[in-house]
Amino acid sequence: MRKTLIIVLPICLLLASCANEYNKRQDAGIKTRDMAAPLAEETMAYEIPQTYDVAEEPEPIPQNTEEYDLIRESEFLTVLENPLSTFSIDVDNASYSNIRRYLEYDMPPKDAVRIEEMINYFNYDYAEPKEAHPFSINTEISSTPWNNQHHLVHIGLQGRKLDYEDIHPCNLVFLIDASGSMKDKNKLPLLKKSLTILLNELSEKDRVAIVAYAGAAGLVLPSTPASESNRILKALDDLEAGGSTAGGAGIQLAYEVAKQNLIDGGNNRVILATDGDFNVGTSSTADLVRMIEEKRKEDIYLTICGLGMGNYKDGRMEQISNAGNGNYFYIDNIREAEKIFKRDMRANMFTIAKDVKIQVEFNPAKVKAYRLIGYENRAMANEDFEDDTKDAGELGAGHTVTALYEILPADSDEKVRKSGELKYQKTEIEPSALATDEIMTVKLRYKPLQSEQSQLVERVIKGKEVRPLKRTSNDFRFSAAVAGFGLLLRDSKFKGKATYASIKEMALGAKGPDEFGYRAELINLVEKAALYNTQLEAKKE
């Protein structure tokens, strides 16, 4: 005890003395030293030796701030009350590659699963267009794999392929997010490699500019011939991530640069690459959407490439893409970049038809109710179909677009919700509807590139076209397998008898040639999801 007092007492006296001196200086209005600064030389003599190592304070665990817009799944609608179904085509496929990224570690959030984007990730072997229109309409109908009391209707569009010897030149502006949130290897470093792939696909007639934004937006490279690849690659390579994110200012500048270098009749396009985390200037999703809606009037198209994880803003980028005559991809690895910028480059970069809308009219004498699978964010008012001022999706050269309807036959006993009795009018079935074999009419409107007046194309589906599931094409069954997989990932109330095992079996049987292994990869993802689902079910027990 005595030795302890000898050691402790001088320390206590020293501390008391320091405290008194500090109080005197404060009372006299004397500015005291910043407590974070080094001690003055005269106090160093009182330094107490440190006996124990002080553990470093652990770094905070990064918070997951990814954002996905709520998806309200489409319900079955009765044909007598809702004979028309109208929606904009969607060529985006970001949801599929984002789901693939999630399935490396865990199940994806339900609202990350947009089934139409999963289906449209894959190309299908549709007939080439033979008429004056730039696409063909292809249809099939059979029983629904997850509910054999229903029918599944497959509608596929095939865009005309370009003559590669007569392609109009490109005026591209790379709009690159160089903010601090883009430092990770799967963001800016991956993006640089991805855009290098695109540069290798361009011709001497094409031009490239680079705009980057962090705390502010700036022109990194003025519009430059693609033949000067070394200059473009150096500008890309010199980009470093740092600072906050002035996305709105970057978008404004990129469109200005594209407009200044506009190629009449060419492919004028802004390619925005970001994790979507805008936080400086115009940053709200609504304001950004309004800005893009104004910019699309200048006939400058938009491609969005999402990257990264942890703070990814999917909902924002999907809305911006929908507003801007654009398409939206998610790059999770270099193989995906090769698919987007090399294998599908012309489909993704060259538009052949704009404002493409689909409207289906069902015959109430043949169909009791229907449900469009996916496309929840692309639904349109029925009146919008005839209105040429209403924006819709764009179709790329050689692109395929696929949509699936699940329908209940008119003689089905299944109950479907409906509204109450009407007081002022009655809904009756025309005698001609009862006499015909027509199940539905698919109507499609589009605008040629140099016109603001839409053209109409129609295709009738008849009862005689219904065939057994085993006699359908590989494309029909594979798209159905992808849709069923999406229903399972969403834990949809409409998944019926679908299981991961049944989905895998159907996908395997419809895989076909699969040159690049994309369909085989889907089967692998189904297997992963099945394992995670088994673990989740085990935890519940």
Measure CA 257 to chain center.
25
User: Coil, strand or helix: which one is 371?
Assistant: strand
User: In whole angstroms, what is the distance from residue 9 CA to residue 28 CA?
Assistant: 29
- The pLDDT of residue 291: 85
User: Coil, strand or helix: which one is 414?
Assistant: coil
Terminal CA-CA length for the chain: 60
Is 261:209 a contact under the CB 8 Å cutoff?
yes
User: In whole angstroms, what is the distance from residue 102 CA to residue 77 CA?
Assistant: 33
DSSP string, 372-413: E-S-GGGB--GGGGT-TTS--EEEETT-EEEEEEEEEETT--
What are the φ/ψ torsions at residue 180 (nearest 5 degrees)?
-60, -30
Nearest to 211 by CA among 223, 220, 202, 198: 220
Task: Kindly state the tokens that stand for 69.
Answer: 């817009």
Q: Which amino acid is at 362?
A: F
What are the φ/ψ torsions at residue 146 (nearest 5 degrees)?
-95, 0
User: In whole angstroms, what is the distance from residue 323 CA to residue 296 CA?
Assistant: 8
Q: Which amino acid is at 523?
A: I
User: In whole angstroms, what is the distance from residue 363 CA to residue 440 CA?
Assistant: 6
Residue 239 half-sphere exposure, CB side, CA atoms within 13 Å? 33
Asked if the model's pLDDT at residue 51 lies above 50, the reply is: no
pLDDT tens, 508-520? 999 999 999 999 9
User: In whole angstroms, what is the distance from residue 19 CA to residue 37 CA?
Assistant: 17
Measure CA 181 to chain center.
19
pLDDT band for 279, please (50, 70, 90 cuts). low
DSSP string, 282-348: S-SHHHHHHHHHHHGGGT-EEEEEE--SSS-BHHHHHHHHHHTTEEEEE--SHHHHHIIIIITHHHH
Nearest to 98 by CA among 79, 71, 118, 124: 118
Asked if the model's pLDDT at residue 42 lies above 50, the reply is: no
Mean pLDDT score, 419-424: 88
- The pLDDT of residue 250: 87
pLDDT tens, 367-408? 999 999 999 999 999 999 999 999 999 999 999 999 999 999
Burial of residue 388 (number of CB atoms within 10 Å: 0-12, 13-18, 19+)? middle
- The pLDDT of residue 60: 44
- The pLDDT of residue 246: 67
**Which has the higher per-residue pLDDT, 218 or 23?**
218
Asked if the model's pLDDT at residue 463 lies above 70, the reply is: yes
Task: Kindly state the tokens that stand for 136.
Answer: 């063909």
User: In whole angstroms, what is the distance from residue 312 CA to residue 310 CA?
Assistant: 6
User: In whole angstroms, what is the distance from residue 307 CA to residue 183 CA?
Assistant: 11
User: In whole angstroms, what is the distance from residue 455 CA to residue 445 CA?
Assistant: 5
Task: Kindly state the tokens that stand for 263.
Answer: 């190629």
User: Coil, strand or helix: which one is 102?
Assistant: helix
- The pLDDT of residue 96: 98
Give the pTM: 0.86
pLDDT tens, 307-337? 999 889 898 889 888 888 889 999 999 999 9
Q: Which amino acid is at 269?
A: R
Is 211:257 a contact under the CB 8 Å cutoff?
yes
Q: Which amino acid is at 74?
A: S
